[in-house]
Structure 1
């Protein structure tokens, strides 16, 4: 009985003391108000599978987490939701990479979740959402991540209240470029608790606060690509816990103080305006793995031994400063063996002995230095199998025979003095740049074994022979650039339908035959430049079906016939540059082509920064005629728009539809047989900079509407049948006589003293006759000298003309320049085997 009583008493004690404790450990179910709030928040958003694609790049899983949210399950078991086990309040909401789109405003039910400790809304599409001050009311919040959420999302000014959250440990607002703000001038409440601050790629401005010394726990500070300026406080470089500091892409200036924090692992100060010496205290940062001081204004000598003690260093970049890299003690083993990426572009490097110890190099950039001659054999013995990227461009190397290229994926040897035949890279090569050297010989067929090749740049060499037919079969090839060589034969006839070709540049070779229609298979083509060859074909009408084509240059060939394109379909939807000059195209100007050029009819007002064709590896370049000059565009602005149909056999009228090309920068219809009036609609070309209608048979008056072209910097209407008064306006008052020469009927400034009420037509005619008679003796002698120059050599003729100028009237100089332009033009025409369609008026000369 006693034992039984004792057992019952023990069970009673268990019920009294243990059961309450046991029941409290059971997770509390979700509160009804919390689930209702979450569902209300869900209804304000929708799911778009195309959103959150950036998550793939960072290895984050993307899927619609809110799809699991429904009342049939406890809200604490929903995807992305974590509740407090004791109270049932939602304390953690992780909706990163959830493919959500919609707007989050100050009335959002999200702000009713007042017990949140962690909130992650990253990698979504909250387009048009302001960042609400109510984010600063989550008093328990320790982690806030709104990065990559298109708050253009997240736009407006960051509320200062966010910086005063007392328990905040992580704040990530990165990659919301419409979000602006500045650091609070008063001490943050969260400064003592903050461990990670990421404001990269927003638009923060102003200085760094002087109280950064209060951030005793901060480990990760990323302020990349903002508008911050001033000096970098020395206190920041002494923070005891700081491991990673990224301040690149700002406007910091002044000298960089010594580093005093031994915890630093990652330093990125790239692309600022920092000055002075590179701090020698770097050699004390024993844990450093990454150091990027490139694209600043550091100066003086930097001894390579400065980095010899950094045993964990794997990335070092000092490129593009004003420093000179030296090895003062001539020590052989000066770089840590751990080094994998080394960038020393434009560092006055002349010798590379310091590479002996770097046995694990994968990426090496020694471009824009003073390396000469042949690269020594020993330099590559340790890196034969590890090197993946080799950049030695813009040096004075003459031979690369010793360089093992078998495993290298990126090879950049541009702008050296390399001689001999084209080297054969390994089959793993993806990017191969060897332009602007002295290479000779033919392109080997083995080049087609590079099945991974994306960029092949052989431009500006002396390569001969034919282009291998098999290049059109490389699926991954995006850029094929062989311009300015001596290649002959015909173009490759076959380009596969799976082609990735984006840029095709064979400008200035000796290619003959037709333009292969199989290029129509290359749906990614943006740039086609086949100018300055000997191609004999009609206009490639099929090229209009290329959906991404922006640049088409066929100048200086033997192309002929009329230009007609289909009126049906979306032809040339993105074409912005078309150059068909110096061919034998005939007939009327191609109105059917003009009707399709949609990209020339709109000006994109949304683009704030200049954009160029190409990518980080390859920049498209072309040669065009503008403002009376032949100009090479080493990079092509996407806003640059050109129509050049000059030096052909076009006839008929200039169509009024050309006035619709309001994005046009250059218009050149010169040296044709165009007639009729200049359409007043051309006055709508508000951004046109170069306008050339010279050497045609245009008649009538110059439209007054052209005087409104405020961007016009070059005008040539010479050698037509124009008459009447020259319009006066802001730009027209800046043009010289040559812009109107050869038009006897034109009056007004600058060809005469007045128009209408100023000087009568009779007086003008009489004064012109008197001037002509007074100079007739000179022009007789001039043309004798000119013809001597044309027959026996232009230099001799120019010498005679120079003598005549030095002893004659200085006012003759302008006329001589006009005459010389005419002579050079006739000479060029004769050289090309065409008579041309020019007229010379004796009464003008």
Structure 2
């Protein structure tokens, strides 16, 4: 492959002094290469001298412009790798099955590189990479993968990013119970279905994004235990039943989006006690009842969308005194009575009643 070499890449100098290269201070072996955004072009050939660096632990080729497939020596020669990042690197084609040989791997990012996993390759990865904590495959073609393989993932998993992967079938619910799991993104897998576990949700969850999937069933009351959660996005799924009124302890939640499902029953009142929330979207459901008369904690709320429900009663006065509100949409409900005036100054730009 070719690239404009950094100024420090002088063949007369020790390569350990080169930009993007790190060496072990005792052995002198190259243990890390970071050429992300390095304008690398061309193909990475199987006979490249790169593969002689058998002690390599970290390799970052993200944001480059390679134009070939990943050569298998990248996996079977670098058995000490702990971190591999090929995000937006330009590689394409089938990911070699030898990726499952990287048994020391802790972090793997292959996102947005026109790569494809087949069923055998991913199943081997899920079984053999027992130290894996961060798996980022967003935009990877996984249409041939059995989602049952995800049940084999390491119990150490912390980050699982699988948006826009063409996944289909029933996602194993036990994944959501992995004890250290913090970030889960499955968005834009419109043929992916599944259920949330009724108990044993990972207490470490910080982000859970299921936007535009086909998950179904109900929201478990154990959601009230997710005290670290900052984002919940279940927009455009097939959830149903009542939304449990268990949000009182979710003090870090900033984005709550349950729009376009089949939720019914009362609007959960504890939603209006969230102290850090900036967005609430419960639109396009069958929620009913009235809005609370007295709310004081939504100081950071910017977007409130409750449209296309069955909410009745009056428009509460507190709506007009929220200091950060930009958009309010209560349209297509059964609200009646007078509408108050917004206090000045305010940041409101869109009102739809």
Trace 1:314-393 onto structure 2 (pairs within 5 A).
314-324=254-264, 326-327=266-267, 335-349=273-287, 351-353=290-292, 356=295, 357-370=297-310, 375-381=315-321, 383-384=322-323, 386-387=324-325, 389-392=326-329
Cα separation, partners in 2 of 1:395 and 1:169, compared to 1, 3 Å: same
> How far 1:341 sits from its partner (Å)?
2.0
Query: Where does residue 167 of structure 1 map in the other structure?
Result: 104
Across the aligned residues of Structure 1 and Structure 2, the Cα RMSD in angstroms comes to 2.9
SS at match of 1:46: coil
Of the two structures, which has the highest relative contact order with CA contacts closer than 8 Å and spacing of 6 or more? 2
Trace 1:672-683 onto structure 2 (pairs within 5 A).
none
Match of 2:2 among 45, 54, 60: 45
Structure 1 residue runs without a partner (length 5+): 1-43, 48-64, 417-845
Cα separation, partners in 2 of 1:177 and 1:393, compared to 1, 3 Å: farther
Q: Aligned partners of 1:108 and 1:409: how far apart in 2?
A: 59
SS at match of 1:283: helix
Trace 1:549-628 onto structure 2 (pairs within 5 A).
none
Cα separation, partners in 2 of 1:147 and 1:374, compared to 1, 3 Å: same
Query: Where does residue 184 of structure 2 map in the other structure?
Result: 245
Contact 2:126–2:154 (CA under 8 A) maintained in structure 1: no
SS at match of 1:217: coil
Cα separation, partners in 2 of 1:259 and 1:221, compared to 1, 3 Å: farther
> How far 1:335 sits from its partner (Å)?
3.1
Cα separation, partners in 2 of 1:353 and 1:74, compared to 1, 3 Å: same
Query: Where does residue 14 of structure 2 map in the other structure?
Result: 74
Query: Where does residue 74 of structure 2 map in the other structure?
Result: 135
SS at match of 1:203: coil
Contact 2:150–2:172 (CA under 8 A) maintained in structure 1: no
Match of 1:271 among 208, 212, 226: 212
Contact 2:194–2:214 (CA under 8 A) maintained in structure 1: yes
Query: Where does residue 226 of structure 2 map in the other structure?
Result: 285
Query: Where does residue 639 of structure 1 map in the other structure?
Result: none
Match of 1:297 among 238, 250, 259: 238
TM-score by length of 2: 0.86
Contact 2:95–2:115 (CA under 8 A) maintained in structure 1: no
Match of 2:142 among 195, 204, 207: 204
Cα separation, partners in 2 of 1:184 and 1:194, compared to 1, 3 Å: same
Cα separation, partners in 2 of 1:135 and 1:233, compared to 1, 3 Å: same
SS at match of 1:168: coil
1:222 matched to 2:179: no
- Point out the structure with max Rg over C-alpha: 1
1:582-628 deviations in Å (ceiling 9; x for gaps): xxxxxxxxxxxxxxxxxxxxxxxxxxxxxxxxxxxxxxxxxxxxxxx
Q: Aligned partners of 2:63 and 2:280: how far apart in 1?
A: 32
1:213-236 deviations in Å (ceiling 9; x for gaps): 551211111111111122221321
Q: Aligned partners of 2:241 and 2:221: how far apart in 1?
A: 12
> How far 1:254 sits from its partner (Å)?
3.7
Trace 1:398-797 onto structure 2 (pairs within 5 A).
402-403=341-342, 407-408=346-347, 411=350, 413=352
Cα separation, partners in 2 of 1:184 and 1:197, compared to 1, 3 Å: same
SS at match of 2:122: coil
Cα separation, partners in 2 of 1:391 and 1:155, compared to 1, 3 Å: farther
Q: Aligned partners of 2:283 and 2:137: how far apart in 1?
A: 29
SS at match of 1:66: coil
Query: Where does residue 311 of structure 1 map in the other structure?
Result: 251
Query: Where does residue 106 of structure 1 map in the other structure?
Result: 46
1:51-100 deviations in Å (ceiling 9; x for gaps): xxxxxxxxxxxxxx734311243211111000122332211000112233
Cα separation, partners in 2 of 1:345 and 1:187, compared to 1, 3 Å: same
SS at match of 1:227: coil
1:436-475 deviations in Å (ceiling 9; x for gaps): xxxxxxxxxxxxxxxxxxxxxxxxxxxxxxxxxxxxxxxx
1:123-153 deviations in Å (ceiling 9; x for gaps): 1222x2212222212111000000122x2xx
1:87 matched to 2:27: yes
Q: Aligned partners of 1:410 and 1:401: how far apart in 2?
A: 16
> How far 1:406 sits from its partner (Å)?
5.1
1:169-222 deviations in Å (ceiling 9; x for gaps): 000001123544345334746432111000011111233245635512111111
> How far 1:342 sits from its partner (Å)?
1.4
Cα separation, partners in 2 of 1:85 and 1:337, compared to 1, 3 Å: same
Cα separation, partners in 2 of 1:186 and 1:73, compared to 1, 3 Å: closer
Cα separation, partners in 2 of 1:142 and 1:342, compared to 1, 3 Å: same
Structure richer in helix, relative to its length: 1
> How far 1:108 sits from its partner (Å)?
3.2
Match of 1:123 among 63, 67, 73: 63
> How far 1:373 sits from its partner (Å)?
9.0
Contact 2:307–2:332 (CA under 8 A) maintained in structure 1: yes
Q: Aligned partners of 1:129 and 1:94: how far apart in 2?
A: 20
Q: Aligned partners of 2:14 and 2:349: how far apart in 1?
A: 54
Contact 1:155–1:180 (CA under 8 A) maintained in structure 2: no
Contact 1:367–1:391 (CA under 8 A) maintained in structure 2: no
SS at match of 1:256: coil
> How far 1:394 sits from its partner (Å)?
4.4
Contact 2:148–2:171 (CA under 8 A) maintained in structure 1: no
Cα separation, partners in 2 of 1:232 and 1:101, compared to 1, 3 Å: same
Cα separation, partners in 2 of 1:282 and 1:354, compared to 1, 3 Å: farther
SS at match of 1:76: helix
Q: How many residues align?
A: 344
Contact 1:169–1:190 (CA under 8 A) maintained in structure 2: no
